[in-house]
Amino acid sequence: MMVAAMEALSTAALRAAVVDAVLASCLDVTAVWSVGHAPSGDESEGDGIRLLVFGTRQVLERLRKCDGLHDARVQLLVVVDGDAFVPAWGAQLGSGSLACWAWRQISPVEAFYDESCWSRGADSDGVVARIRRRAFLLWPRLERHEAVKGCITSDEALR
């Protein structure tokens, strides 16, 4: 999907359009997660859409060549070896690893992790804060009967 066509979409529609376009462009993607949510489920303020794609270095290179997917409102991180991730486009900030994030999948469709950032207080110069974040599986979609009893589905989480 071209960036111009995606500009008028709502956040949920843009997220769905990007996931569809990524999956159509890269058949080797094994999972797509929506990341950057507060523990309550809300997306972080001002961060736009953040997606974590599980794939390979080849998936990363393919996504970097798909200029029509690149959208400044979307941060797309690609896990290239089961742990390390790098941005597929935009500023090359945001590289890291699931181990450093303390990624913990608590159900088939939900995970928690810790993200490091600079503290924003006036007297917190040079202090790094660890912020708890929540992630939801977007693809492959788990049907309600496949989810573990008592767990929410990714559709329920992102409503």
pLDDT digits (tens, 9 = 90+) for 30-43: 999 999 999 886 65
What pLDDT sits at residue 9?
78
Structure-model confidence comparison of residues 23 and 67, the more confident one = 23
Q: From its phi and psi, is residue 118 left (phi > 0), alpha (psi between -120 and 50) or beta?
A: beta
Confidence of residue 90 (pLDDT cuts 50, 70, 90): confident
Res. 26: pLDDT tops 50: yes
The predicted model gives 6-19 an average pLDDT of 84
pLDDT value at position 62? 96
| For range 106-125, the mean pLDDT | 84
CA distance 68 to 84: 25
Residue 1: the pLDDT is 47
**pLDDT surpasses 60 at 149:** no
Quote the CA–CA distance of 93 and 136 in Å, as a whole number. Answer: 22
Angle at 103 between CA 119 and CA 12, to 5 degrees: 80
Residue 145 above 50 pLDDT?
no
Which pLDDT band, with edges at 50, 70 and 90, does 10 fall under? confident
Spatial distance between the Cα atoms of 44 and 52, rounded to a whole number of angstroms: 15
SS3 138: strand
Task: Evaluate if residue 131 carries a pLDDT over 60.
Answer: yes
pLDDT at 24 over 90: yes
Mean of pLDDT over the chain: 83
DSSP sequence for 94-130: --EEHHHHT-EEEETTEEEEEEEEE--STT-TT-EEE
Query: In which band, very low, low, confident or very high, does the pLDDT at 140 lie, cut at 50, 70 and 90?
Result: very high
Considering only CA atoms, which of 49, 41, 61 is closest in space to residue 18?
Answer: 49
Contact criterion met (CB below 8 Å) for 35 and 105: no
